[in-house]
Amino acid sequence: MDFSKYTDEELMDIIEKAKAELARRREGKWIHFKTDGCFTPKFGPAYVAKLYLSGDEVEREFVPSNGKEWCKKSKSYKEDWDVEIFENDVLETRLTTGRKVDKREWYYVKEGELIPLMDLDEAKQFLKNLK
């Protein structure tokens, strides 16, 4: 981009717009997750985690929940989380109990909204592309 073609006023306008965009990207947005009904931990506990790359490996930072509410049989529970998300965060959740498969879901954050990813490999590729 050749800035010499712009007037001082146009350059100041570009700077202000760029500053506003950077501030918007740094702002967090709170989002609420909860288990679907009573969760039975057949494949592991319910969780929400932010994903990061450490070398070529995916690392999880588990988000603490707001607490568990045990269901009648004491083997299942309801749980919820409040998570602050930022632009390009990648999240992994296990909120639904599957009968035969582990029901995890992956998302990335774009403009404050959760965009679904297909699987952990796609989440890992997204994280690699951010570098």
78-112 pLDDT, tens digit each: 999 999 998 889 999 999 987 788 899 999 998 88
Q: Which residue has the higher pLDDT, 131 or 110?
A: 110
Give the pLDDT score at 109. Answer: 92
The pLDDT > 70 percentage for the chain reads 98
**What are the residues whose beta carbons fall under 8 Å from the beta carbon of 70, sequence distance 6 or more?**
76, 77
C-alpha to C-alpha distance for 65 and 81, rounded to whole angstroms = 5
pLDDT at 119 over 90: yes
What digits encode the pLDDT tens for the residues 18-77?
Answer: 888 777 767 788 999 999 888 988 889 999 999 999 888 999 999 999 999 999 877 899
CA neighbours within 13 Å on the CB side: how many for 70?
4
Give the pLDDT score at 56. Answer: 86
